[in-house]
C-alpha cells in the first residue's frame, strides 16, 4: 500500500503525478527549489518542502535533501518523474534503503540500461534487433579503426553513458574516424565522467519509433503500442504521435510482441520505453529509457490507460490484472511540446506570463503548470506545457490540433506554438511523410523564405 508519494520533480510532470495520486486517494508531497516557491505543483500538493537553492544541482538533484523531505513528511514512496534523478540507480537504491518504495524499475535495471553497451547486449540476447556496430566498447583508436572496417561508413561514435545527444559523433569516412573518436570520448568524459564509446552504423533516413511497455512484479508484461517521435531538432523531440503513420498493423503487432517477450525475459518492472530507429521496414534498437517519458500522454490517449496510475500500482506490488489481449488501441493522438523559446531561433525566453488561456473541448488535453502571472525561471528545462489531442483518425487529430492551437493564449514570453501552427499546414507533415532529419530541413527552408 502506498499512502503518501513524494514527487521529486517540478513543472508539468510534477502536476501530472499529483493528479494520478489524487485520483487514487494518495496524499502528495511537493519538493521545490527557492525559485519554485510559488509554482503550481507546490500550491496543489498536500504538503511541500523547500529542498534548496535555484540550481538543480543543489535542489532537484540533491539526494540528501530529498530523503530528508521524505522523512520529515512520512512519505512512503517517491516518484522521480522524468529527467533529474529518474534514471539515477544510486537514488533508487537510497530510496529503498530508507524503506520507501521507488516508483520505477529496480536499481539494477536502471544501471543496466544506463550503460548503452550493456543495454544493447542484454536486449539483443533477449531477441530485440539492434543497430549493427562494434562488439561492445572500442578501447583504443586502433580498435576503432579495426572495428570500423566491419561496421562500414558512415558511422557514429557513441558514448556508453550518453544521453541528450551528447557524446555522439558522426564519421562520414575513414579519414574522419580519429577526430570523431577523440571528440566523442572527450565529450563523454566531460559530460558523464565516463569516456567509454562504441561504434554504430549510421542510418541515413530513419524514423524514431519507440515501444511503450508496462510490467508488474508477477511476470505480467504488456506493450502499449508505439509512438513516432521522428520530428526532432538537434536530437530533441518536438512533436510525437501514436500510432506511427509509417507502420502497418502487422509491423506494429510483430515489434510489440518481440518487445513484450524480451522485457518478460529481462524481468523488468514498471514502465519503460524501447527506442528504435526504423528504416526500410526494419527496426534497430538504440536505447531503453527506464522511466516515464515526456510523450507518454499520446499512448494514454489511444489506450485509455493511465500510465502513472499503473506505475504506482505495480510499484506497490499489485498485479496488472489484464493481458495483452485486453489492451486495445483507438484513434490517433498527437502531442506538441510547448517550450518557452522563440519559435524560429529557439532562444530561451524565461520571464513572466501575462495572459494564459488553455484550450478545451472534447479530446483536448493540456499538461502544464502555467498560470497567468507565473514567472518562468531561467534555471530549468524550457518545456512549459504539452498540448495533446485525440481524434478518431490522424486527419481528425490534425483538425483538432489546429483548432486547439488557435485557442491557446500565452503572452509575455515567446513560445514554440507558432512553429506548430505553420507545421500543421505542411503537406508532407500532413501525409506523415517524415524522417528524423525532416524537421531540420523544414526549418532551414522556412528560414530562407
For the annotated catalytic residues, the residue numbers are: 291
Q: Is 188 in the site for ligand ADP (CB under 6 A)?
A: no
3-state SS, residue 257: helix
Interaction of residue 194 with ligand ADP, rule CB under 6 A: no
200 forms part of the interface with ligand ADP (CB under 6 A): yes
> At closest approach, how far in Å is the CB of 356 from ligand ADP?
31
Please state the closest distance from residue 168 (CB atom) to ligand ADP, in A.
6
DSSP summary character for residue 345: T
The reply on whether position 416 binds ligand ADP by CB under 6 A is no
By rule CB under 6 A, what string of x and - marks binding of each residue 132-161 to ligand ADP?
A: ------------------------x-----
Residue 112 is a binding residue for ligand ADP (CB under 6 A): no
Task: Please report whether residue 131 would count as binding ligand ADP according to CB under 6 A.
Answer: yes
Q: Is 244 in the site for ligand ADP (CB under 6 A)?
A: no
Q: How far is the CB of 230 from ligand ADP (least distance, A)?
A: 8
CB 66 within 8 A of CB 8: yes
Of the residues 202, 278, 283, 346, which one makes contact with ligand ADP according to CB under 6 A: 202
Q: Which of 436, 438, 442, 443 binds ligand ADP (CB under 6 A)?
A: 436
Which residue in 58, 83, 79, 61 sits closest to 70, CA to CA?
Answer: 79
Residue matched to cell numbers 492551437: 405
Shortest distance, position 408 Cβ to ligand ADP, whole Å? 27
Q: Which is nearer to ligand ADP, 28 or 382 (CB)?
A: 382
Nearer to ligand ADP, 25 or 193 (CB): 193
Nearer to ligand ADP, 117 or 336 (CB): 117
**Distance between alpha carbon 373 and the CA centroid of its chain, in Å?**
28
367 within 8 A of 294, measured Cβ to Cβ: no
CA distance 388 to 363: 8
- The Cα-based distances of 39 to 11, 62, 75, 321, 374 in angstroms read 8, 19, 21, 36, 8
CB of 206 to ligand ADP, least distance (A): 6
Binding mask 275-314 for ligand ADP (x = CB under 6 A): x-x--------xx---------------------------
Q: How many whole angstroms separate alpha carbon 203 and alpha carbon 51?
A: 44
Nearer CB in complex with ligand ADP: 88/232? 232
- 341 pairs with which residues across the strands? 348
Asked if 160 contacts 196 with a C-beta cutoff of 8 angstroms, the reply is yes
Closest CA to 399 of 425, 419, 379: 425
Q: Which is nearer to ligand ADP, 288 or 401 (CB)?
A: 288
Please give the Cα distance from 317 to 369 (Å, whole number). Answer: 30
163 binds ligand ADP (CB under 6 A): yes
DSSP symbol at 32:
E
Region near ligand ADP per CB under 6 A, out of 52-60, 185-193, 203-211, 262-270: 203-211
Number of residues this chain uses to bind ligand ADP (CB under 6 A): 20
**Residue nearer to ligand ADP on the CB measure, 75 or 131:** 131
Report in angstroms how near the CB of residue 246 gets to ligand ADP at its nearest. Answer: 15
Our CB check for ligand ADP shows the closer of 67 and 177 to be: 177
**What is the closest distance, in whole angstroms, from the C-beta atom of residue 148 to ligand ADP in the complex?**
14
Closest distance of CB 238 from ligand ADP, Å: 12
184 binds ligand ADP (CB under 6 A): no
Backbone angles phi, psi at 347, to 5 degrees: -70, 135
| Residue 264 · residue 324 · CB < 8 Å | no
Beta strands in 1-42 (DSSP E): 4-7, 27-33
Select the residue interacting with ligand ADP from 64, 74, 165, 219 (CB under 6 A): 165
Using CB under 6 A, which residues numbered 17 to 56 contact ligand ADP?
Answer: none
Rounded distance, CA 17 to CA 370, Å? Answer: 16
Task: Give CA separation, 80 vs 72, 91, 103, 206, 382, in Å.
Answer: 18, 9, 7, 31, 19
Is residue 82 helix, strand or coil?
coil
Near ligand ADP by CB under 6 A: residue from 64, 74, 164, 361: 164
Which position among 57, 124, 186, 235 is part of the footprint of ligand ADP (CB under 6 A)? 235
Cα–Cα nearest to 270, from 425, 77, 433, 431? 77
Residue 324 — left, alpha, or beta (φ > 0 → left; ψ -120 to 50 → alpha)?
A: alpha
In the bound state with ligand ADP, the residue whose beta carbon lies nearer, of 164 and 418, is: 164
3-state secondary structure of 273: strand
H helices present in 244-374, as ranges: 249-266, 296-303, 307-315
Interacting residues with ligand ADP (CB under 6 A): 131, 156, 162-165, 168, 200-203, 206, 208, 232, 235, 275, 277, 286-287, 436
Amino acid at each position: 500500500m502506498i499512502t503518501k508519494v513524494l514527487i521529486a520533480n517540478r513543472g508539468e510532470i510534477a502536476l501530472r503525478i499529483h493528479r494520478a495520486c489524487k485520483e487514487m486517494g494518495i496524499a502528495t508531497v511537493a519538493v521545490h527549489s527557492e525559485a519554485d516557491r510559488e509554482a503550481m505543483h507546490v500550491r496543489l500538493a498536500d504538503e511541500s518542502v523547500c529542498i534548496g537553492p535555484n540550481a538543480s544541482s543543489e535542489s532537484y538533484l540533491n539526494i540528501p535533501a530529498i530523503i530528508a523531505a521524505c522523512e520529515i513528511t512520512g512519505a512512503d514512496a517517491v516518484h522521480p518523474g522524468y529527467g533529474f534523478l529518474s534514471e539515477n540507480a544510486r537514488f533508487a537504491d537510497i530510496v529503498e534503503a530508507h524503506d520507501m518504495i521507488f516508483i520505477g524499475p529496480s536499481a539494477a535495471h536502471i544501471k543496466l540500461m544506463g550503460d548503452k553497451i550493456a543495454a544493447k547486449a542484454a536486449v539483443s540476447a533477449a531477441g530485440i534487433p539492434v543497430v549493427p556496430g562494434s562488439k561492445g566498447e572500442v578501447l583504443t583508436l586502433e580498435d576503432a579503426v579495426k572495428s570500423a572496417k566491419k561496421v562500414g561508413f558512415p558511422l557514429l561514435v557513441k558514448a556508453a553513458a550518453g544521453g541528450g545527444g551528447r557524446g555522439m559523433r558522426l564519421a562520414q569516412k575513414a579519414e574522419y574516424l580519429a577526430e570523431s573518436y577523440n571528440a566523442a570520448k572527450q565529450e563523454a568524459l566531460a559530460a558523464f565522467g565516463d569516456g567509454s564509446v562504441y561504434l554504430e552504423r549510421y542510418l541515413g533516413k530513419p524514423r524514431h519509433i519507440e515501444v511503450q511497455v508496462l510490467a508488474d512484479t508477477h511476470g505480467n508484461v504488456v506493450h502499449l503500442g508505439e509512438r513516432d517521435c521522428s520530428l526532432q531538432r538537434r536530437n530533441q523531440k518536438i512533436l510525437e504521435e501514436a500510432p506511427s503513420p509509417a507502420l502497418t498493423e502487422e509491423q506494429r503487432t510483430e515489434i510489440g510482441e518481440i518487445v513484450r517477450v524480451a522485457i518478460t525475459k529481462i524481468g523488468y518492472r514498471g514502465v519503460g520505453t524501447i527506442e528504435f530507429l526504423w528504416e526500410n521496414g526494419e527496426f534497430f534498437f538504440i536505447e531503453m529509457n527506464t522511466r516515464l517519458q515526456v510523450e507518454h500522454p499520446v499512448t494514454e490517449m489511444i489506450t485509455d490507460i493511465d500510465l502513472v496510475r499503473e506505475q504506482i500500482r505495480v510499484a506497490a506490488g499489485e498485479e496488472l490484472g489484464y493481458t495483452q489481449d485486453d489492451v486495445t488501441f483507438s484513434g490517433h493522438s498527437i502531442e506538441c511540446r510547448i517550450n518557452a523559446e522563440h519559435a524560429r531561433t529557439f532562444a530561451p525566453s524565461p520571464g513572466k506570463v501575462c495572459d494564459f488561456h488553455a484550450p478545451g473541448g472534447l479530446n483536448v488535453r493540456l499538461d502544464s503548470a502555467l498560470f497567468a502571472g507565473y514567472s518562468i525561471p531561467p534555471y530549468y528545462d524550457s518545456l512549459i506545457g504539452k498540448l495533446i489531442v485525440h481524434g478518431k483518425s490522424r486527419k481528425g487529430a490534425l483538425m483538432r490540433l489546429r483548432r486547439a492551437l488557435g485557442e491557446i493564449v500565452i503572452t509575455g514570453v515567446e513560445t514554440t506554438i507558432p512553429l506548430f501552427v505553420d507545421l500543421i499546414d505542411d503537406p508532407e507533415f500532413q501525409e506523415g511523410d517524415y524522417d528524423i532529419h525532416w524537421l531540420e530541413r523544414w526549418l532551414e527552408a522556412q528560414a530562407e523564405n
